[in-house]
Amino acid sequence: MIENYILMHKGGQDEYRDNVFVNYSSALTLAILYFPTEADFSVADEASVSALVQSSSKMRFTDLSESITPILTNLKNYMLIRIDDKHINIERHGKVFAYIVQNGELKMLPNGMSSLEDGDRVICCTGEFMKRLNEVAVLSDAVVSDSAEEWMDNLVCRISDKNRLGEGNLTAVTMIVRSGD
């Protein structure tokens, strides 16, 4: 099981433009779209991405990636994630990031598949979310938190200390592998 918590906060903007599409099945599939400026924003693309992610349960990750790429051809910043108890598969484009806590360090996850173990903590987030954080802060909040929600709450407090949540949209997903559950 992948315990997860998704933050979708409009920040100081009039509306929330980024988006996160989720498919909860035996594996968790996510698409995170990040629009740092209004010019990047495209509503039309989102409906297609949503439909594709919703129907992706039985699709291989590479097939999902190949299907989604033509839809998001004009989008500079997005990430596809599929995660289960054993593996995480990532495809990231532009200023979206994925990190894992391993051996007391926060390491950036590369594109492709990586192995996971029980208790591993993973965060996927936009550049706007990471702008006010550093790796030490993300690591520390990860290792003291009992849940994915608490980890996110602690990170939001740090961002709030810097900007009162008054800047861009904030989008992130915190995940904890719970193999025993």
Partner 1 sequence: MQTSFADLPTLQSAVYPALVLFALTAIVFTWFTVVYIKRKGFGNPDDSDLYIDCAYFMEIGKRPSQQDSVFISNLSDYKRYGITALVADGMGGMEYGGEISEKVAKFVEQMCPLSFFATEQNSDELRRYSNELYDEYKLSGGSTLAMVHIAGNYMNYYSVGDSDIILVREGVPTILNPRQNYMALLIKSLCRNNKQTVSAYNNPKSRALIDFMGNQNPRVIYTKKPIRIFDGDKIIVSSDGLTDAVSLRNMPHYFRDGASATALELKRAVASRKRPKQDNYTGIVFTIKRSPF
DSSP-assigned states of every residue in 133-158: --HHHHHHHHHH-SSHHHHHHHHHHH
**Beta carbon nearer to partner 1, 89 or 171:** 171
Tokens 């706007």: give the residue.
Answer: 128
Interaction of residue 139 with partner 1, rule CB under 8 A: yes
Interaction of residue 1 with partner 1, rule CB under 8 A: no
- Cβ-contact 82, 60 below 8 angstroms: no
Cα 89 from chain centroid? 12
**Beta carbon nearer to partner 1, 57 or 134:** 134
Interaction of residue 6 with partner 1, rule CB under 8 A: no
Query: Which one, of 109, 125, 149, lies nearest residue 141 by Cα?
Result: 149
Residue type, 148: A
Q: How many C-beta atoms lie closer than 10 Å to residue 129's C-beta?
A: 27
Interaction of residue 70 with partner 1, rule CB under 8 A: no
Q: How many C-beta atoms lie closer than 10 Å to residue 156's C-beta?
A: 17
**Beta carbon nearer to partner 1, 55 or 160:** 160
Q: For partner 1, which stretch binds (CB under 8 A), given 43-51, 52-60, 81-89, 159-167?
A: 159-167
Interaction of residue 10 with partner 1, rule CB under 8 A: yes
Which residue of 60, 86, 87, 164 would you call a contact of partner 1, by CB under 8 A? 164
Interaction of residue 154 with partner 1, rule CB under 8 A: yes
**Helix H or strand E encompassing 5:** strand 2-9
CB of 141 to partner 1, least distance (A): 7
Residues that bind partner 1 (CB under 8 A): 7, 9-12, 16, 101, 103-105, 119, 134, 136-137, 139-141, 143-144, 153-154, 156-157, 160, 164-166
